[in-house]
Structure 1
Amino acid sequence: MARLLLVRHGQASFGAEDYDALSPLGHEQARVLGRSLAARGIKPALVLRGTMRRHEETLSGILEGLGSPVPMITDAGWNEFDFQHVVEIHRPAYRDRSAMMAELALSDRPDRAFQQVFDEATLRWSAGAHDADYTESFTAFRTRIAEALSSVTALLPEHRDILTVSSGGPIAMATALITAGPAVPAPTLATLWASFNRVSVNTGVTKVISGRSGLSLSTFNEHTHTEPEPRLLTYR
């Protein structure tokens, strides 16, 4: 059987000018994952990443941890949806980043306060009743990830083991599509996607097996490489 490993990027820089850059901890998470894979004898024949900075930096850390080069390609289909845009449609005041950070700072837990706003915003986006409000609707996002998943699946017969670095949203969508099948009704898919996306861990690894019957989910969001040091376990 061929194996596809979907890896969420390391911790990005929430609240900074450039969210897309990994934090120092995010760089460390990526290197730790690479070393963990190497220790387990896992060396992909091909690595693939989205085109965002956090994908590039995460893959660089993983390869450093692996200790050996691997052929690499990019596919923008694995990029994250524009969550800032989705949040701003729901909460227009957040178009001003300083205003957003000031409001969140009023909470005892700014991360949880943002998560609540994020959940509300993505619920509106994924419901499908306001598609015209968004540059990429949830339906379009679903189609994009289905196409990206199909493209990487087509590479598996040749390479057998592929590691793909992406983001929580695309990996959650791919997982939902594999779990429920392409004919899953939109409301069910949205619920599944939200459930998977909500618990996605930085550098979590989702393993997909490709066999005669197609793609099967083997593990979701595995992150044993973070367990020896609890500080490595982050969600945003």
Structure 2
Amino acid sequence: MGAIYLIRHGQASFGEADYDRLSGLGIEQGAVVGAELLRRDVRFTEARSGSLSRQRKTAETVLDWLGVKTPAKEDPRWNEYDHVDIVAHHGGGVPQNAADSRGYQRVLEGALAEWMGAGEDSPCAETWPAFRARVTGALEDLVSLLGKGENAVAFTSGGVIGMLAGQLLGHPEAGLLRLNRVTVNCGITKLVSGRSGVTLLSFNEHSHFDGRTSRLLTYR
């Protein structure tokens, strides 16, 4: 049985001109999750990252803690949905506002629901069915590389993780909206692959942000 660890990226720069850049806090979060995986003595035979800067920097930070010299292979199929495009077409084009992150989250969730409901008819560059297909394909390809007892890691984003977790539980739409909402930066989701297929073993683990590191717990 193989295991796939899905790591959400560290905190990005919400509300800034370059959102796709890890904040200082995000870099600290990457170091903490790296230390947690080192404590667990997890060894990875395959490492993947989306092509977004926040995903790649998180991968670099974590793998450095694990003493892995080979960088994670970039695979844009692990990228997040394009929230700017989705909000532009389904949410009135409301911009990110660091002073009202909850307000933006409400707009985004409404836009995501409309985007999913539109299916292939959405005017967005990537539709909901296309998003599901590329993410599912990325996971299937990664699973196919694992031998017995081998582990893989993918550095990705909350929407990707929420959708996959929901899909494995039978409801990808609920996963994208409800599970995505509670994913923490640098949380750990673990999947296992065996004869019966891929199973969700744990979702959004974040005990590494308890106690002395609790100040590092963020959701966006």
Same fold by TM-score greater than 0.5: yes
What 5-or-longer segments of structure 2 have no aligned partner? none
Where does residue 173 of structure 2 map in the other structure? 190
**Structure 1 position 131, deviation (Å):** 2.8
What 5-or-longer segments of structure 1 have no aligned partner? 181-187
TM-score under structure 2 length normalisation: 0.92
Which of the numbers 163, 181, 201 marks the counterpart of 2:184?
201
Q: 1:152–1:93: structure 2 CA closer, same or farther, 3 Å change rule?
A: closer
Where does residue 172 of structure 1 map in the other structure? 162
Question: Is the 1:50–1:75 contact (alpha carbons within 8 Å) kept by the matching residues of 2?
Answer: yes
Question: Is the 1:7–1:203 contact (alpha carbons within 8 Å) kept by the matching residues of 2?
Answer: yes
Residue 167 of structure 2 aligns with an amino acid whose one-letter code is: L
In 2, the alpha carbon distance for the partners of 1:53 and 1:80 equals 11
Deviations, residues 58-93 of structure 1 (Å, cap 9, x unaligned): 011102222343563221111111011111223435
**Number of aligned pairs?**
219
In 1, the alpha carbon distance for the partners of 2:21 and 2:182 equals 21
Q: 1:129–1:218: structure 2 CA closer, same or farther, 3 Å change rule?
A: closer
Deviations, residues 134-156 of structure 1 (Å, cap 9, x unaligned): 11111111111111111111111
Which of the numbers 185, 197, 209 marks the counterpart of 1:214?
197
Q: 1:213–1:117: structure 2 CA closer, same or farther, 3 Å change rule?
A: same
Q: Is 1:231 paired with 2:215? A: yes
**Structure 1 position 192, deviation (Å):** 3.1
Matches within 5 A, 1:114-133: 114-128=104-118, 131-133=121-123
The structure with the larger Rg is 1
| Superposition CA RMSD, Å | 1.9
In 1, the alpha carbon distance for the partners of 2:24 and 2:71 equals 26
In 1, the alpha carbon distance for the partners of 2:145 and 2:138 equals 11
**Structure 1 position 47, deviation (Å):** 1.2
Q: 1:159–1:23: structure 2 CA closer, same or farther, 3 Å change rule?
A: farther
